[in-house]
Structures are given as structure tokens and as C-alpha cells.
Structure 1
Amino acid sequence: MFNNTTGIDRNNKAKKAEKQQQEWMQYPTILTRINPFLITSNRIKEKKDFVNELILENSWGRITKIGPVLTQKDEDILIAILCYAKQYKDKDITGSLAYIGNIIDIARVLTKSKRPGKDTYSSIHKSLIKLASTVINLEVKSNNRFKCILSNNIILHIDYNDKTKKIKIIFNPKFYRLYIKKEYTQLHIKTRLQSLKSPVEKKIYQFIMSHRSKTWRGAREKLEKVLNLNPDRPTNQRRRTIREAINALIARNLLSQNSGLLSADIVVLERCEE
């Protein structure tokens, strides 16, 4: 009798690989290191809407913005949309990303709820408007020189029907270029959007996932600039914020027990093996 076990195994592996692929999303690596989304209320209050303002500068580059202040909540919504975004082009746009579907899908991946409420839809729509109206100037640093790789808004067009919940979101082609060279980081969707609650946990997770090596070791001040922690806060509070976030990631088996503050000024982040 003919044995088709090999064919069945191959199909099962293909289905498993497809399912695993659906559990991950791609996020521009540069945004895991130079990030315009603020995480604390004090920092948000410091920044002003519609002002050409420096948001962050570190060893990887710098970001300035003109437009509404962007928060961690806005980044969560951006990532949720990117989970569903597909390549897009039309008569005016030769290449970009777009999501054309139902806002309910975005709400569900954010909240784990099968029946998100009106407040969730409204929050998503407001964040989209902010992402469309904020001009970001993103510069990478190389050999002590800055090179601009994005000087525009992230979202180009939004068309939303509040009654049907149908939505069309087109990303700016210049934002899409961040993907073309395949310089993106794989993030586990449920981990990033549903499991992690603290903004600092989310940013540390994104940061360590962006490195090829599973271990990053560096100065605490360097990590603080990646996280965009308020430098005016007392040093012991900033240390505690980092320590608590690392311990939370260890508890979720995202960082190994080798991770932590080795001293007052040295941090080690070691990603757990998948």
C-alpha cells in the first residue's frame, strides 16, 4: 500500500510555518532605536503640538517632529495596522503599504476582545489622524554625520466610514522605503500588543529583538536615550524603571536571567532562545 506520510508531514510543516508567520509582524528596525513615540506623561506634557521640536537624539540618529505629540498608544495602533498592511499601488502611488478592510480587525488585535467598543474605534481613528498630520524628520548617524531617511508623515491617506466600520489606510511611500532594504525587525504580535503592558517593557522588547546577536551590553545612559526616558528624573528612579521592566521581561521568558543592571551604569539584555 502506498505510504503518503511524507506528503502529509510536508503539508503539516507548511501549515505550521504559515501559522507562525501570521503570528509575527515586521517593524522598521530604525524605529526600535530612534523612536518618536513618548512613553511618560511628564515627557508628553513637556512637548508641544505643531512645533519643530527635537524628540530624541542618540548614537543611532535623531528625530524631530512638527505636529501633534505622538504617544506610546499611537505606536501600538501603528503596529496593529502594520500587522495587516499589504503592498499597494495605484495610478498616483507606484509603491507603498495599505490596509483596506474593517477597523474591527485592528481593534481586536489591540484589545484581545471579540467585540471592541466605540471608544476603541474612536481612539484608533484619532491616532490615525495624528500619524497623518505629524511630519517626522528621521536622520540616521554614520561616521558622525547625519543622513535623512524620512522627512514626511507616516500615513498619507485615511478613509473611514463610522457606520460600516470600513477603513482604507495608505502609508506614505517614503515610510514604505524603510522596508525596501529589508531593514526591519520581527516582533511577535500578541507579545508586543497584548502581553506587554508597560511602555518601557515594549520598547526594551523591540530594541533587543532588533539585534542579530541575542545579547546587548551597553551603558545605561545609552539605553535611556533609546527609551527616551526623561533625563530630569532622579537617576535612581530611571535605574528602577529599567530594572523593573527587565525583571518583567525575564518573568515572561523574553529575556534570560543573565539580563539586568550589572552595575549602576552597565546594562545587559539577553534575549531568550525561541
Structure 2
Amino acid sequence: MDTLSVASWNINSVRFRMDIVEKFLREAQPDVLCLQETKVVNQDFPHDPLRRLGYTHIAINGQRMHHGVAVVSKVPLAEDDRLDWQANGEARHIGVRLANGLRIENVYIPAGGDVPDREVNPKFGQKLDFIERMTTWSAGLAGIPTLLVGDFNIAPLESDVWSHKQLLDVVSHTPIEVEALGRLQAANDWVDLGRQFIPAPERLFTWWSYRAKDWAASDRGRRLDHMWASRDVAAKATAHRVHEDCRNWLKPSDHIPIVTEFAF
């Protein structure tokens, strides 16, 4: 394996949006696609259309109607792990290893509800606890080539949101979440690949609400989807692409796919 491209996409129901998954795979041709919010139990996951496109290696951690993550790949996968960082059985993580030794960890961090106060809103506390458990896990990854991808449900930088001032009290951009994500990043000295290739303060969004009549015209986006790499893996990254055009496709997800290319 000389080159490798890895995509990540919160698909918001893989069966409902299978047409655009297939379209993306035909056009972008990533070697590996990590999906979040698949919303399907394992036995009902749509294997066949993916296999017909050459994605014959599939690792899934599904849940009916909610959450769910999957890794579909043209290259062999091994050692699939499912970690429960929320300690409640929700399907929010799957990790795999490639033949070259690279670990790919695919995660769907909880959204956290509407009120940024764990006393008033238990979902917010669960989100912070999830990130804290991930932070402890990250601290044990020293020396392991790892790529951490997924929907983190946090936009950490001012240029990761359409209005820093207006979103400071909105879950996904509050200081307490940004600080928690910073501790997670520091725990393994993760490199934020999106910002390695598209440095702040350049605009960089991966999510736009369904509520906008014209998402592109209003452009009230947030960067909720991320790819982080251990230092050794980040050094091999050659390109990072954000596929905004997918937000215009038929029956789109509110998230778009991001892709990083590597030379090993």
C-alpha cells in the first residue's frame, strides 16, 4: 500500500441515503469510508451495494433508529473494536487496523442536547463524560499510528462556525466543550488534519442545518466533522478535501464527507 485515502461522513441513515453513498464512492473513490449515524442494526446494514462497488471489507457497530458507525473498505480490515465511552451501550465507536499497521478509530460523539449545563441537561453532561473517557483512552495510544475520525459534534475554532459571538452559548461551540476537546487533542498530541491543510482563520464548515431554506446562501455552517492523526501519520498526509457539493445532492445528509489522502 503506497497511497491511502480515508473518508468520513455522518450519513444520517445509511439506508435512506444509500444512493448518495454510492454516488460519492463512485466519484471520490476513497479506499476507506467511515460512516456515522448509520441508524441500522447490523443484520440490516446494506452490504450488497457496497460490495458491488469494491468495498468488500466491512466492520459495523449498529443500533436501531439511532447512532451507529461503520467502516467500509477496499483494503482488508482487522481487529475491529467497539468501545463504549458513554457507558450506556450506545453504538458510537468502531476501530479497525489495516495491514500497514494503521489504526482507524471512527467515533460519533453525542450532540449534547440544547442547554450547555449538565445540571439542567443530563445529555450535556454525558457528552462531556464521553469526551473525558476518550481523553483517558487517547493517553494510552503513544507509539501507535492512529487516525481518529468522525462527527465530534464540536466546532472548536472561531472560524469553524458562521458566527463565533452568536454561537458561544450554543451547544457545539461553548467554551466548556472547546476546552474538553482541547484536552482530548493534547492527550495524544493529535494533529487536526483539516486545519493542517486549511489553516485558520479560513472558513471551514462540514455541517449546515436542514432548517435553512437555502443552506448555501445563508451559509450558517459549523465544522463538526474532524480527522485527527498521530504525529507520525500526519506527516504522511498529502491532501485534505471537504466535499461541500454533496450537501446539494438529492436527499442529502446535513453533514458532508471529508477525505484525507496519505502516502505511506
Superposed pair shares fold, TM > 0.5: no
| Greater helix fraction, Structure 1 or Structure 2 | 1
TM-score by length of structure 2 reads 0.29
Pair member with larger Rg: 1
